[in-house]
Chains A and B, each alone.
Chain A
Amino acid sequence: MSDVSFVRKDFLEPQDPPARERGAIKWVRENLFNGWLNSILTLLAIYFIYKIVSGAWPWFANGVWNTNNLSECREILDGATGACFSVLQDRWSQMLFGISYPSDGFWRPTLAFVLLFAAAAPVLFSTLPRKLLIASALYPFLAYWLIWGGTIMISIMALVGFAAGYYAFSYMERARGFAAGLAAGVAAAFVVWYLGGFVSGAMPGFIALPEVASRDMGGFMLNMILGTICVSLSLPLGIVLALGRQSDMPIIKGICVVFIEFVRGVPLITLLFVANVVLAYFFPPGTSLDLILRVIIMITMFSSAYIAEVIRGGLAALPRGQYEAADSLGLDYAQATRLIIMPQALKISIPGIVNVAVGLFKDTTLVSVISMFDLVGAIRGPIASSTDWTGIYWEVFGFAALLFFVICYGISQYSQWLERQLATDHR
């Protein structure tokens, strides 16, 4: 019975999947054209992208880079679509540094800007050696000296004041507790600052850079100055406000709640109006504060209220057991807050804090409304109203948007990276 029905002895070669089920075609079928709705959306999106690219590309490619004014540029373009990027070449200094910052000193804010990244790196990336944090702590004083100029003694004395305050605080805290330490620290710092004022006043030429007045700050530099100063100042204030709002003491809680809700309920512009026209009334007669200083005060108030709300969220998200565990270890309020509560609450609130910081940095453009020449103010003022460049807007505002985009997008990418790093919970 060898005549059994046929059985295949050799296997067939494996075949590739059908053409429409592999490679790019499969991907396109599955991702772009599965179903009529998706196909329509895909076609719409492609059409939209085509419209944008076909409009923007000639504008960009035909860009004119070296003319002295808009009419020359339009002559060269001769009716064709094209950008007049020469405005950037002509006015870059106004957009970056403002109208009246001395041009031979441009290296100073530039250096401060570059050093900002170096100083921020140890704070941002915890893998770097912790010793570098000392350099970060020195940065604010160095940056002040670079940007505002004057003798370096001002910065040094300010630094010595902080150091004395910190030393007094840690000494007294060990002996008499947190509150006494705080009082001693503040007192020591103020004494040193007061004495330091005489020292730096006595030697105005000691390693001095030419002084630049605050009203000469402008351009993107002003946005950076306001953004960094106000965010860093509002962080400790925000922590204090958040703790106050979570506190058991009704009066302190009430003060914090009223402050936070009031500031969050009004637009930043009204606070800037206050800085511009009202705030001077609240200082003793005869004192005159720089507009930039008044603006810093108001923006710091503004952002500290928002940061306080973010941190309050972090505090509320901590499990109750953390507070109780701290109590059962016998820690007092200051110790528990500093060692147990805050490290965890701040970690939870990092994304929110970064959001507030990015929003605040963007909101610094609002100072152009009270006629300060920040980036937007410089574009709307000296550039748009000059006879050479009146009527130009895409190029300059596009440049401004690009600057902000690069910084803000960078910060938000960092925050997402950090969130992934800090995610210690189980997934």
Chain B
Amino acid sequence: MSTISDPGNAGFRIGMLLSDTRYRSYTFQFIALILLIVGISYLVNNLLANLNELGLNISWAFLQEPAGYDINQRPIQYDSQSTHARASMVGAINTLIVAFLACVTATIFGVIAGVLRLSNNWIVARLMSAYVEAFRNVPVLIWILIIFLAMSNAFPQPRAFRGDNATSSMWLDSVAFTNRGIYIPSFVNEGWQATVFWLVVLASIVGMFAYRRYAKKLLYDTGRLLPMGWPSLAILFVPGLIVYFLLGQPVGLERPELKGFNFQGGVHMRLSLIALWFALAIYTGAFIAENVRAGIQAISKGQTEAAASLGLRPGWIMNLVILPQALRVIIPPLISQYLNITKNSSLAIAVGYMDITGTLGGITLNQTGRAIEAILLLMLFYLIVSLSISAIMNVYNNSVKLKER
């Protein structure tokens, strides 16, 4: 903000450094800078003195030493002989995995709950309010622990699936919920045909979006309305299915099977991952629900009425008039919820999920005693992730923002 500036007439006197608003800000900044430098050098000085006293130094060599501990969820090649740097990278990828899964799921939960909370169905609206209030007002750490403990106590042991009179059975013969985690089928790819198949699937997804874009452009430019629903579905599924059968079913499913004391095959999602994912999603979903509700309520009723008087059908009113405007209100808080999920995923340490806080900030720190270096790296990682998420989402936000001229 600007304050009054004195007229500039007379020459400069030393007293004007304090009394003249034109020069006073330089004085203040100079003092602040001096104080900052003094403060930082005092802290660094203390740090060096303390390190000297303890015979320590700052060194990054520990990153290249073998870690010597196991990580139970390894998205990339890792064993206990790998370096601490490698362990940190595994942890970083695990953080990103759970954060991504939780962001997607929390958005789904939040949008559903936020829309239903505005529904005129009394009982559903009340149920959603109860959900939002119950989850918003209790610490996420408590939810993570409750969900983790409840899952590991409620799900049966793998041996309950064994024998002729098994007490538990697999869901659809391919998904097993056990107290060691959830086993789901995995894809088995065979040769180049599989690669071709996946490329076709990818291409048809891109094609579907391209078609919808084209149809929209055509509608706006010429007023011709192409059908949207069934061609999209056709583009999405038909090429994939044709290629799948032409190439002789190159992609199969590997179902988990009970062998010995445990399930083999398929993908094993550990309970710590599931609990953390679910807890973060349902907790943050409650916050997103509030954002969505606020966004929809922020659109004035006149918009709905104007759209209706233009002759739009209710579904179109929502899609073409309300949602695009509500999105502008919803997205900025949504970005900060995504950031919160990423930061809260560091609570993984409470349930033993090996994210970067568990590897770099946990075991590596304790084994090597390199507290300053490890925590500095840890903060740097989260800082980079946070800044990238806000950068990406800001690009998206700018694309939906109201273009004012």
* Chain A interface residues (CB < 8 Å from chain B): 31-32, 34, 38, 41-42, 45-46, 48-49, 246, 248-252, 255, 262, 264-270, 273-274, 277-278, 280-285, 323, 327, 330, 332-333, 336, 341, 358, 362-363, 365-366, 368-369, 376, 380, 393-394, 397-398, 400-401, 404-405, 408-409, 412
Contact = CB atoms under 8 A, between A and B. Distances in A.
A158 B269 CA distance: 56
Contact of A266 (B119, B122, B365, B379): B379
B25 interface: yes
Interface in B133-161: 133-134, 136-143, 145-146, 149-150, 153
Interface stretch (B75-83, B178-186, B380-388): B380-388
B375 A277 contact: yes
A405 B137 contact: yes
B1 interface: yes
B361 A397 contact: no
B59 to A, nearest CB: 15
Interface in B205-260: none
Given A265-B382, A280-B50, A285-B49, 15 more contacts: A249-B28, A264-B386, A270-B382, A341-B1, A362-B140, A369-B350, A376-B139, A376-B142, A393-B146, A397-B149, A401-B143, A401-B146, A404-B138, A405-B137, A405-B138
22 contacts: A31-B121, A41-B116, A246-B1, A265-B383, A265-B386, A266-B343, A266-B383, A269-B346, A269-B361, A270-B375, A273-B375, A280-B50, A281-B46, A332-B3, A333-B3, A336-B3, A362-B139, A363-B139, A376-B145, A401-B142, A404-B137, A408-B136
Nearest to B126: A45
Contacts of A281: 46-47, 50-51, 372
Contacts of A369: 347, 349-350
B308 interface: no
Interface of B: 1-4, 25, 28-29, 32-33, 36, 43, 46-47, 49-51, 53, 116, 119-124, 127, 133-134, 136-143, 145-146, 149-150, 153, 339, 343-344, 346-347, 349-350, 357, 361, 365, 371-372, 375, 378-379, 382-383, 386-387
A336 B36 CA distance: 27
Given A46-B123, A265-B383, A405-B134, A376 B50 contact: no
Contacts of B46: 281-285
A401 B47 contact: no
Contacts of A42: 121, 123-124
Contact of A31 (B120, B133, B365): B120
Contacts of A280: 50
A282 B346 CA distance: 25
Contacts of B371: 273, 277-278
Contacts of A368: 141, 350
A32 B123 contact: yes
Contacts of B50: 280-283, 285
Contact of B379 (A48, A270, A365): A270
B284 to A, nearest CB: 12
Contacts of B387: 265
Contacts of B375: 270, 273-274, 277-278
State the majority secondary structure of interface residues on A.
helix
A34 to B, nearest CB: 8
Nearest to B384: A265
Give the 5 A-B residue pairs with the shortest CB-CB distance, closest first: A267-B343, A408-B137, A362-B139, A265-B386, A277-B371
Contact of B142 (A38, A277, A282, A404): A404
A41 B126 CA distance: 12
Interface core residue of B51, B141, B343 (most chain A CB under 10 Å): B141
B349 A401 contact: no
State the majority secondary structure of interface residues on B.
helix
A248 B1 contact: yes
Given A252-B32, A405-B137, A323 B25 contact: no
A393 B149 contact: yes
Nearest to B25: A249
B334 to A, nearest CB: 15
A397 B146 contact: yes
A266 B381 CA distance: 9
Nearest to A380: B145
Contacts of A249: 25, 28-29, 32
B99 to A, nearest CB: 11
B200 to A, nearest CB: 36
A63 B252 CA distance: 50
B120 A270 contact: no
A282 B347 CA distance: 26
Nearest to B120: A31
Contacts of A250: 29
Contact of A365 (B53, B116, B142, B361): B142
A397 B122 contact: no
Given A249-B25, A282-B47, A273 B361 contact: yes
B152 to A, nearest CB: 10
Nearest to B133: A409
Contacts of A38: 119-121, 124
Contact of B382 (A267, A341, A400): A267
A7 B136 CA distance: 67
B133 to A, nearest CB: 6
A323 B1 contact: yes
A32 B4 contact: no
B124 A409 contact: no
A425 to B, nearest CB: 15
B3 A400 contact: no
B386 to A, nearest CB: 4
B123 A330 contact: no
Nearest to A409: B137
Nearest to B33: A251
A32 B1 contact: no
Given A42-B124, A409-B137, A284 B49 contact: yes
A292 B8 CA distance: 53
Given A362-B139, A397-B149, A401-B142, A251 B372 contact: no
A250 B25 CA distance: 10
B124 A362 contact: no
Contacts of B139: 362-363, 365, 376, 404
B141 A366 contact: yes
Contacts of B350: 368-369
A397 B49 contact: no
Contacts of A398: 146
Contacts of B121: 31-32, 38, 41-42, 45
A424 B2 CA distance: 27
A255 B138 contact: no
Contacts of A48: 127
A363 B141 CA distance: 8
A249 B343 CA distance: 32
Contacts of B361: 269-270, 273
